[in-house]
């Protein structure tokens, strides 16, 4: 059955290193969302793409975070340089602009030491 996939599922890295998280949206979906989930802040929207174009990335720290969609089957979220406060679970979700539902991936658990 169709699912959103995310890689890696877990990532442990040292402060200052670059981190790249990948997401494959469900085939045919044209909206992609990146979320960050922490105990303290809950679920935060980082970026939102429609038809591969970023429509809203106001939730993302611009100095170190970047989000792209090189093609319709791949969305990436990069952190450079990473900091301990970036430790969180990062979720990708996809949807269709003809529907209002979002389908979540399993998440990438990032730990920055």
Which residues sit at the interface with another protein, rule CB under 8 A? Answer: 4, 31, 33, 42-43, 45, 48, 50, 56, 91, 93, 95, 97, 100-107
Supply the minimum distance, in Å, between the C-beta of residue 61 and another protein: 19
CB of 48 to another protein, least distance (A): 6
Measured from the CB atom, the residue of 33 and 65 that comes closer to another protein is 33
Rounded to 5 degrees, what angle do the CA atoms 38, 44, 45 make?
Answer: 145
Q: Read off the tokens for 91.
A: 């979720």
Give yes or no for a contact between 88 and 36, defined as CB atoms under 8 angstroms apart.
yes
Residue closer to another protein by CB (options 63, 101) is: 101
Task: Give 46 or 79: the residue with its C-beta nearer to another protein.
Answer: 46
- Cβ neighbors of 48 (< 8 A, separation 6 or more) are 31, 32, 33, 34, 54, 55, 56, 57
Find the shortest distance in angstroms from Cβ 75 to another protein.
15
Q: How far is the CB of 10 from another protein (least distance, A)?
A: 10
Residue 101's Cα: distance from chain center in Å? 17
């Amino acid at each position: 059955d169709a699912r959103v996939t995310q890689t890696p599922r877990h990532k442990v890295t040292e402060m200052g290193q670059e981190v790249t998280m990948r997401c494959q949206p469900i085939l045919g979906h044209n909206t992609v969302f990146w979320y960050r989930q922490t105990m303290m802040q809950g679920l935060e929207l980082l970026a939102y793409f429609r038809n591969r174009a970023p429509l809203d990335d106001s939730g993302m720290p611009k100095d170190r975070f970047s989000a792209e969609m090189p093609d319709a089957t791949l969305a990436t979220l990069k952190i450079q340089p990473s900091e301990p406060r970036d430790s969180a679970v990062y979720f990708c979700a996809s949807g269709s602009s003809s529907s209002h539902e979002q389908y979540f991936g399993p998440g990438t658990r990032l730990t920055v030491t």
